[in-house]
Structure 1
Amino acid sequence: MVLLCRGLVLSRSDPCCARRHFRATTLQNRFKILFLGRDEFSCAIFEELHASPDVWESISVATNPDTRSIQSPLRPLAQSLNVPVIFIPPDKPDFKHWKPPPPFFESRPDHLLLTASFGRILTPAQLDLFPPVGRLNVHGSVLPAYRGPAPIQHAILDNAPTTGVSVAQMLKRGIDKGPVWGTVEIPVSPSATFTSLRAELAAQGGRLLVSVLRDMLAGTARSTPQPSDSPTPHARSITTADAILDFAAMTADDIVTLHRAIGHQRALTTWLPSGVRLHLYDPAIFPSCSWSSSSSPPPTLSDTPGTLAYYKPLRTLLIRCAAGSVLAVPRVQKEKRRNAIEAREFWNGMVPVRGLVVDGQVRLVRMEGAGV
């Protein structure tokens, strides 16, 4: 038996009464948890939670059903640990009418709703089935910065020197606007990708969540309301339009940063003069030192942004970008082709096309409003 909080009280030790904490007054069981998630971020947090049985009496998982193109890694993980798995409706409109499984039919002090990268907005009716302090979300930023569905991507896009993870209470008027029960801040490596940063944040988030739950059970957990008027960056959803490249406005460094942030979900996109869409993979900044170390000088690229040429010594495509910078692209994928191909194979297929390659170069184009 452990101590469980009965509710929230204002901390009199805080002159502004801004912080809130649990008052442990009643002996109760550990938490009965409903965990909602879907991706690798969710999985790492769930693993840490499951490995800490001192904070839970039971755990159930709710996640998306598998489809042909999308599979929830949380499902097999939970099943491998003998944790019950419930599938939510696949369509978002239907989710509004979804009801949690038993025993979560009514709000009880030991019932806890946890979400992590769930991808759905819970309705007020669904939240009401849990006590206000028993609705927690693990968010991949130091709130209130980067509220929204894509905090990790936007931290990389903004070249933020630091980011972090927060455990926050979910409100009916804003899932990520509630009081914060704990945060961990970490530095962002200049070479961080979404995948690497997500893994680091998830590991930190899992440990933070368990620490918060232990403090809640001990009656020592405290939360701090988020400022309502703080001018912080918002993390809107990543769309296909975000992946469209503008070589006249973007430097090679900008494009590499974009790839690090969204390359896992959106392929960087441009077009050949023929209107054929072209995806670029694994871009890198082309440094001047590569030229001097090679026995063959690089092609003399036009100063016009979007100019494309093949550089044989490195087997890569070179693209002129803004501010005179040059991007190296080792792999591409043409529209309606199933797989990406090496730069050499792509270029060899380009050369025979009359009028497309001029003086060993091609001019890529930007097609506004084109579907990607």
Structure 2
Amino acid sequence: MLSKITGETNFYKYKRKIYECFRLVRTFSSSPNKLKVLFFGTDNFSLPSIEVLHKSSLNNLKVSTVGVVTSFKSPSNCIKCYAEANNLQTYKWPIEPDTCKQYDLGIVVSFGHLIPSNLIKAFPLGMINVHASLLPRWRGAAPIIYSIMKGDTKTGVSIMRIEPKRFDIGDIYAQKEIPIAPDVLMPELHTILAKEGAKLLNSTLEGYPESFKNSIPQNDKEATYAPKVLHTLTEVDWNLMTANEVYNLYRALYGYKPLSTRFKDLNIKLIDIRLGPKLNDCHGSSGSIEIIRSEKCFRVRCKDCNSIDVFRVKVEGKRTMTAEEFSNGFLRKCEKSSLVFNKN
């Protein structure tokens, strides 16, 4: 019975693939060279992509028309502001299939919503997505954060076809690899990838229809996942984490969420930290604190005998303070044996 079900599943996958090929061939032969695109986006990562699409339409290049779908909830939505400032036709999410039928192609960049099947099918050319990773690595909502957090030395951008019901599984049209510098912070890498994603999107569209004909399936066995970031991800466990792991997590969440730990009965946010040196004594307690007045920081021992230097913190209910201020106000009152961050 199982083999029969598997055979039927493969048959329908094959049938869908054949249908998709015929649909694309029919579109290639009947559509004009210029594309009418409907853009789906909401944030700063989306902005460079809508800019290159709009520029293409103004310069009479591959794109003839740009419509925009976005959320109207936030008045500071940069995509909505850009669309209105440039007199682009704007639609409030959610939309109906009839709206999609007015365009050739749907383009999704950091939209945050699963697109229903009836919308995907309404576009003659379907929909494509700009994703901030080298798929199939880091499928999901937070690929930039996870690539830094896990210590990757490279990442990139992918242009992929959107499939119904699941995020980031479609065939890949184009990719570009980007190195991750050892000290890069998330906002900087976010900006780099947003710009590179826009360039790759533009070159993919400029290469239409040839660039749409030779997509590459993803290898699901190589997939890794980058789900939405929960608050628990910010918590530092000094007993379990190496210095590199703490520092990578700090870089990955920088500008989004500060790392958190506890000292005595206080919640502490780690605002400014750097990698410290390897410690001479490897027998101390993980999370133990040493005040380094010459460098205006305090040093925290990690599980691997390496350390993290902390320069600024925020104690719950108080303003952000320097390491010196924290040392004078909190650490100086403690005995040496109690200078340890608690386990969360």
Fold-level similarity (TM above 0.5): yes
Contact 2:36 2:105 in 1 (8 A): yes
Spell out the pairing of 1:105-144 with structure 2 (5 A cutoff): 105=99, 107=101, 110-131=103-124, 133-144=125-136
Q: Mapping of 1:28-39 within 5 angstroms?
A: 28=32, 30-39=34-43
Say if 2:116 and 2:165, in contact at 8 Å, map to a contact too: no
**In structure 2, do the counterparts of structure 1 residues 341 and 169 end up closer, same or farther at CA, with 3 Å as the change threshold?**
same
- Out of 79, 88, 91, the residue aligned to residue 83 of structure 1 is 88
Deviation, structure 1 residue 351? 4.8
Matches within 5 A, 1:21-170: 24-26=28-30, 28=32, 30-53=34-57, 54-67=61-74, 71-88=76-93, 98-100=94-96, 104-105=98-99, 107=101, 110-131=103-124, 133-170=125-162
Q: What TM-score do the two structures reach when normalised by structure 1?
A: 0.77
TM-score where L is the length of structure 2: 0.83
Q: Give the whole-Å Cα distance in 2 for the aligned partners of 1:350 and 1:301.
A: 25
**Pairing 1:282-321 to 2, within 5 Å after superposition:** 282-287=272-277, 303-321=284-302
Separation of aligned partners in 1, 2:339 and 2:123: 60
Deviations 1:222-248 (A, max 9, x none): 332424542322222221111110111
- Check 1:271–1:106 CA distance in 2 against 1; reply closer, same or farther (3 A cut): closer
Give the C-alpha shift of residue 360 in structure 1.
8.4
Structure 1 alignment gaps of length 5 or more: 1-6, 11-19, 89-97, 292-297, 368-372
Q: Distance in 1 between matches of 2:211 and 2:309?
A: 54
* 8 Å CA contact retained: 1:32, 1:111: yes
SS in 2 for 1:283: strand
Give the aligned partner of residue 281 of structure 1.
271
Query: What corresponds to 1:333 in structure 2?
Result: 314
| Cα separation, 2, equivalents of 1:282 and 1:320 | 16
Rounded to whole Å, the distance in 1 between the matches of 2:118 and 2:317 is 45
Letter in 2 for 1:256: Y
CA contact (8 A) 2:261 2:343 kept: yes
For 1:248 and 1:21, how far apart are their aligned partners in 2? 58
1:222–1:196 distance in 2 versus 1, CA, 3 Å: farther
Q: Aligned residues, how many?
A: 322
What's the secondary structure of 2:144's corresponding residue?
helix
Q: 2:170 aligns with which of 155, 172, 178?
A: 178
Query: RMSD in angstroms over aligned alpha carbons?
Result: 2.9
Is the CA contact 2:204–2:211 (under 8 Å) kept in the aligned structure 1? no
Cα distance change, pair 66–345 in 1 and its aligned pair in 2 (3 A): farther
Distance verdict in 2 for CA 1:40–1:22, change over 3 Å = farther
Map Cα deviations across residues 200-257 of structure 1 (whole Å, 9 max, x no partner).
Answer: 22222111111211222x4553332424542322222221111110111112221111
1:166-200: CA deviation from partner (whole Å, max 9, x where unpaired):
11111113231112111112222222222222222
- Structure-2 separation of matches of 1:84 and 1:336: 46
Q: Which structure 2 residue ranges, 5 or more long, are not aligned? A: 1-18
2:100 touches 2:119 (CA, 8 Å); kept in 1?
no
Residue 259 of structure 1 aligns to a residue whose secondary structure is: helix
Aligned-pair CA distance for 1:331: 0.8
Distance 2:298 2:332 in 1: 17
Structure 1 segment 113-262 matched on structure 2, within 5 A: 113-131=106-124, 133-216=125-208, 218-219=209-210, 221-227=212-218, 229-262=220-253
Q: Give the fraction of aligned pairs with identical amino acids, expressed as a percent.
A: 25
Question: 1:16 is matched with which residue?
Answer: none
Which of 312, 322, 328 is 1:342 aligned to? 322
Change (3 A) 1:285 1:241: same
**1:309 touches 1:361 (CA, 8 Å); kept in 2?**
no
